[in-house]
Amino acid sequence: MAFRNLRSADRGGVRTITIQRPDKLNALDRATLDELMQAFQQARVDPGVRVVVLAGAGDKAFVAGADIAAMSDFDAAQAQAFSRAGQALMRTIEQLGKPVIARLQGYALGGGMELAMACHLRIAARRARLGQPEINLGLIPGFGGTQRLLRLAGRGAALELCLLGQPIDAERALALGLVTRVVDDGALDAAVAELADNLAAAAPRALAGILDAVDTGGECALDQGLAYETQTFALCFASADRREGMHAFLERRKPVFSGR
C-alpha cells in the first residue's frame, strides 16, 4: 500500500523503510506512527523480507523526536493514547522476528532515540547526535526511553541522558553501548548495506530464535532464560537451514539458506 509519510524499497531480502518528513526532521506524529506500524506488520509477514533497515529522509535527522506541534495541545488522555501507540510500535519492531537496523545519519532525539533503541542494531555516522531532551519540554520520554535506555546502557547513563536532556555524540553513544558501530559520514550507506546483506544471507529461523531468546531473556531470571534458549536451540534442529548450514560446513562450501 502507498504511504504518505514513509517510503519503502526492497533490494534482495532487505527492505528499507524511510520516514519521509524531512522538513520536520522526520518528527513522529500519530499518522507517521500508524504508517510505521503498518509497514512493520507488512514486513513481518512478507517471506521475501529478511532484514529491515529503518532510516530518516534528508541529511539532518534520523528522527528529531515526537512531533512537538502535534503534542502541544494534548490533554492527559490524549498523551496516554499517544504514548501507548508509540510504545506498541516500538515493541512491534523489537518483536518483529527479523533483524531491524537503524541508520543514524543525524539527530536521533526523543522519540527518534526511542525508535532507534527498539531496533536491534544501530549504525551511526560520526556526526549523529543522540539524546532524550524531553526534560527541556517539561516532559519525560513516553515511547519507552526510560526503560530501554536503562536496559541498554544502565541506570547511570539513563539518568544522565534523561535528567540533563543534552544530546551526546556518536562516539560517546558507542562507548555507552547505545550504537553498534560508528562510521565516517560518507561511509554510512555502504556500512548499512554490508551489514544488511550479511543478515539477509543468514538463516532466518535462527535469526528469529536469537532475537526471541535475547528479548525473552532480558526480562526473566537466568534459569528461565536458559530453559528458553534450550527449547529454541532444539527447535533449530527441525529446520532445513540447520541441516544446510552444517552440511555446507562439512562439505567446505557456502551455505544457501532457504528460510525453511
Cell numbers 552444517 correspond to 246
If the CB atoms of residues 119 and 203 are measured against ligand COA, the closer one turns out to be: 119
CB 257 within 8 A of CB 205: no
Q: How far is the C-alpha of 39 from the C-alpha of 48, rounded, in Å?
A: 14
Residue 164 within binding range of ligand COA, rule CB under 6 A: no
Residue 25 within binding range of ligand COA, rule CB under 6 A: yes
Residue 69 within binding range of ligand COA, rule CB under 6 A: yes
Residue 134 within binding range of ligand COA, rule CB under 6 A: yes
If the CB atoms of residues 3 and 143 are measured against ligand COA, the closer one turns out to be: 143
Least Cβ distance, residue 158 to ligand COA (angstroms): 16
Choosing from 33, 43, 57, 67, the residue that interacts with ligand COA (CB under 6 A) is: 67
If the CB atoms of residues 115 and 206 are measured against ligand COA, the closer one turns out to be: 115
Nearest to 111 by CA among 29, 50, 231, 54: 29
Residues facing residue 7 across a β-bridge: 18
> How many residues interact with ligand COA (rule CB under 6 A)?
16
Contact residues for 52 (Cβ-Cβ < 8 A; gap 6+): 14, 15, 16, 17, 40, 43, 96, 98, 99, 100, 101
Choosing from 13, 133, 145, 204, the residue that interacts with ligand COA (CB under 6 A) is: 133
Residue type, 176: L
Burial (CB < 10 A; 0-12, 13-18, 19+), residue 234, is exposed
Residue 109 within binding range of ligand COA, rule CB under 6 A: yes
From the list 134, 171, 194, 244, the catalytic residue is 134
Is 244 annotated as catalytic? no
Least Cβ distance, residue 55 to ligand COA (angstroms): 17
Residues facing residue 16 across a β-bridge: 9, 53
Residue 110 within binding range of ligand COA, rule CB under 6 A: yes
Nearest to 206 by CA among 99, 80, 116, 79: 99
Choosing from 90, 107, 149, 239, the residue that interacts with ligand COA (CB under 6 A) is: 107
Residue type, 64: A
Q: How far is the C-alpha of 65 from the C-alpha of 49, rounded, in Å?
A: 27
Choosing from 39, 64, 101, 161, the residue that interacts with ligand COA (CB under 6 A) is: 64
Is 134 annotated as catalytic? yes
If the CB atoms of residues 13 and 110 are measured against ligand COA, the closer one turns out to be: 110
Catalytic residues: 114, 134
Catalog residues that contact ligand COA under the rule CB under 6 A: 24-25, 27, 64-69, 107, 109-111, 133-134, 137
